[in-house]
Amino acid sequence: MKNRIVRAIAGSFILISLLLAIYVNINWLWFTAFVGVNLLQSSFTKWCLMDDILNKIGVKE
């Protein structure tokens, strides 16, 4: 369950930042890159900040 939430949030962040880059300012692509780097980092380290945040607000596995 929590993996699906993390993926949904990451996907939403990417799509929203792409829309902001197209319609507001191209620099929003830096946010897209940040999300991508965090996804890549978590695949190697098995640590994800969003996972910790979800734990703190009480989302169960």
pLDDT tens-digit series, residues 7-59: 999 999 999 999 999 999 999 999 999 999 999 999 999 999 999 999 999 99
Give the Cβ contact number of residue 44 at 10 Å: 7
Domain coordinates in residue numbering, the chain: 2-56
Rg of the chain on CA atoms, in Å: 13
- DSSP state at residue 46: -
Relative orientation angle of helices 2-23 and 29-45, to the nearest 10 degrees:
160
pLDDT at 7: 93
pLDDT at 10: 95
pLDDT at 61: 80
pLDDT at 1: 75
Name the pTM for this structure: 0.84
Instruction: Write the CB contacts of 48 (distance below 8 Å, at least 6 apart in sequence).
Output: 6, 38, 42
pLDDT at 60: 83
